[in-house]
Amino acid sequence: MEIKSVVITGGAGGIGGALDRCLVARGVETTVIVMRGATDAGGKGVVRADVSREEEVGAAFAEIERRGVRFDGLVCCAGIVKDAPLVGVAPGSFAPYPLGAWSSTVAVNLTGTFLCVREFAVRCIRARRRSRVVTVSSPAACGAPGQAAYAASKAGVEAMTLAAAAEFAPWGVTLCCVRPGLTDTPMAAAYPRAVLDRLARRSSIGRIYSPEETAEAIVFCLFSDTVAGCVVPLDGGIKL
């Protein structure tokens, strides 16, 4: 499949930013969708939108289409994490996980991915264009203590991707989901170093990946027709 143009959500930093730079270095035109207020974004074009809001996602893809961008590929990297136990227990008190934190995590990670995949796919199907979609999950999708909201949202991304892959295959729109392991991103930097080191030791390589390493693996999944209708672990064998 010829891919000359890719839309990236969450392209202002972390894995999305590294992926943007990686694709541009290969001569691929990129358009990144970033949150309003994001100050660092690359690519030939930048569109600002809150991926959890249907009207903003629709407007973003309409703007990308208006610019004449080819809808060859989409990679959904946008995501947030708000970790805490479902019920935090301390001497003499309980702290239930806030519904607002649950709702916002699911809204960005799962609903945001759904909205972007839907807007991208409907344009490809309408134009009879063969295209490629890669969504991004996490090892937390297998279940991670203290990450119930994040885990549920990423497990949902995986299941939705597989369902969409079956639906869209007859139209030439192929999908896969990647499950990156520990990557040196601003999101990971919010955790204590001791926690990251302990998790890294569980993997077969015993270290954290650079964003560029993870981006290179995603590029392979984006360009290879052999990776379709599946969830690809890029986690070095880590078990959370």
Active site residues: 150
* Neighbour-count burial of 20, counting CB atoms closer than 10 A to its CB (0-12 exposed, 13-18 middle, 19+ buried): buried
Q: How many CB atoms lie within 10 A of CB 170?
A: 8
Stated as kind and residue range, the H or E segment containing 231 is strand 231-234
Q: Would you state the structure tokens that stand for residue 43, as one six-digit string?
A: 């690519």
Q: What angle do CA 200, 141, 233 make, to 5 degrees?
A: 60
Strands 87-90 and 93-96: antiparallel
Which residue type sits at 28?
Answer: V
> CA-CA distance, 90 to 74, in Å (whole number)?
44
> CA-CA distance, 142 to 135, in Å (whole number)?
16
Q: Identify which of 235, 87, 110 has the alpha carbon closest to the alpha carbon of residue 161.
A: 110
Q: Per 3-state DSSP, what percentage of the chain is helix, strand, and coil (rounded to 5)?
A: 45, 20, 35
Q: With beta carbons less than 8 A apart as the criterion, state whether 4 and 28 touch.
A: yes
